[in-house]
Amino acid sequence: MLIPLISYSQKFKSDSSYVRFFSEAPLENIEAVNSKAVSIIDLSNGNFVFSIPVNQFHFDKSLMEEHFNENYLETEKYPKAIFKGSFKPSSLVDGAQTVTASGDFNIHGQTRPVNIEGTLTKSDNQVLVKATFTIKIVEYKIKIPKAVFYNIAEEVEVTVYFEYKEL
């Protein structure tokens, strides 16, 4: 006699995203936002991935956006920033909890290990993830011309926010 097992899906795909980067420098602060990132999270094992189309960051100044895509991030050659990793939740109960995702972050063709602390909020069939972390642009071989060195910080703050629906 076979007894069917009921399996509840623990996989969620983002249906809304917000990614922001912020560079605070002596001469000028630079901020850009992107709402085209995608992500999948598996609560059963903690696996987590997000992919950001780099050329979809939008700036207040069009010239900044052009320089960002052509000169710094070279988005035709390196179109995506991708994080792949996992987290260990303290529990899978409904509500908010702090989690740390450990994995690899790839930008500009360079992959570096990172730990990203954030908040995971679970309710019925929805998951929200919000995290803020810092990257050092030199680690990703992003070259900043000396002429604008004081316009761009050596460390950039990245904020990610994803809303997920169950698959």
Does residue 123 fall inside a structural domain? yes
Pairwise CA distance, residues 41 & 27, whole Å = 39
Domain of residue 140, CATH code = 2.40.128.110
Does residue 1 fall inside a structural domain? no
Does residue 81 fall inside a structural domain? yes
Does residue 35 fall inside a structural domain? yes
Q: Specify the pLDDT at position 90.
A: 59
Does residue 99 fall inside a structural domain? yes
Number of domains forming the structure of the chain: 1
Q: Which mean pLDDT values do the consecutive 10-residue runs of the chain (167 residues) have? A: 47 97 88 98 93 97 92 95 88 85 97 96 92 95 75 90 95
Does residue 128 fall inside a structural domain? yes
In which domain, by residue range, is 26 found? 11-166
Does residue 3 fall inside a structural domain? no
Does residue 4 fall inside a structural domain? no
Q: Specify the pLDDT at position 1.
A: 37
Q: Specify the pLDDT at position 91.
A: 65
